[in-house]
């Protein structure tokens, strides 16, 4: 079974990682965290922008490898 707090968006291109993150966050309670795994280069800009626009907090962004890991706290 999939972990509801992890979204594997590897192989998906903009805007799919953010759209899938938005849908996954809707099912979580405020304060819960979601970890997104993505390899789309646009995610470096898209994920932080999404967090600001949607009222979520970007806790961390590990972009040092091919697959980036973003952790978001639902607002």
Higher pLDDT, 15 or 2: 15
- Collapsing DSSP to helix, strand or coil, 5 comes out as coil
pLDDT for residue 13 is more than 50: yes
CA distances from 73 to 13, 19, 54, 66 (A): 22, 16, 11, 23
Q: Is 51 a catalytic residue?
A: no
The tally of CA atoms less than 13 A away on the side-chain side of residue 34 is 27
Percentage, residues of the chain above pLDDT 90:
95
In the chain, what are the domain boundaries?
Answer: 6-73
Question: How much is the pTM?
Answer: 0.93
CATH number at 6-73: 3.30.110.40
Residue of 12, 14, 44, 58 with catalytic role: 14
Which band of pLDDT confidence, cut at 50, 70 and 90, is reported for residue 6?
very high
Cβ(57)–Cβ(25) under 8 Å? no
């Amino acid at each position: 079974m999939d972990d509801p707090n992890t979204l594997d968006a590897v192989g998906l291109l903009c805007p799919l990682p953010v759209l899938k993150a938005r849908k996954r966050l809707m099912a979580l309670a405020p304060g819960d965290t979601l970890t997104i795994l993505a390899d789309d280069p646009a995610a470096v800009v898209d994920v932080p922008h999404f967090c600001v626009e949607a009222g979520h907090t970007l806790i961390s962004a590990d972009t040092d490898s091919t697959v980036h890991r973003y952790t978001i706290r639902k607002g």
